[in-house]
Amino acid sequence: MANNLHISYDLHKPDKNYDRVIAAVKSLGSWAKIHYSYWYVKSNLTAAQARDAMKAAMDANDSVYVVDATNNSAAWHNISPDAAQFISGKWDKIAA
């Protein structure tokens, strides 16, 4: 079953490689670009799988946040500790 993923990211390195990250988003499934770094993707991947695919295209200090609206789950990498703690305390399903 395909999932409704919402993907947001920030690239922090001065010489950001947006082309590689955008290609990674587009490879996840059918997509629509909502804002500069915010996308909707219809994908067979889970939030955690999509996060991992995005991490592979990003630098270690970049951040990504993926919400699977179909299954009410989320996964992220390198978001602020305060945001991660807040989300973890409020959200029913957090992907590993």
pLDDT in tens, 4-60: 999 999 998 777 889 999 999 999 999 999 999 999 999 999 999 999 999 999 998
User: How many angstroms separate the Cα of 8 from the Cα of each of 1, 30, 67, 77?
Assistant: 22, 16, 9, 11
- Residue indicated by tokens 């957090």: 94
Give the model's pLDDT for residue 94.
Answer: 65
Range of the domain at 86: 3-94
79 closest CA partner among 29, 27, 3, 91: 91
Q: To 5 degrees, how large is the angle CA 21–CA 71–CA 34?
A: 40
Cα–Cα distance between 37 and 52 in angstroms, integer? 17
pLDDT class of 96 with cuts at 50, 70, 90 = low
Mean pLDDT of the 67-93 span? 90
Question: Confidence band (pLDDT; 50, 70, 90) for 90?
Answer: confident
Query: Total domain count for the chain?
Result: 1
CATH at residue 57: 3.30.70
Global confidence as pTM: 0.91
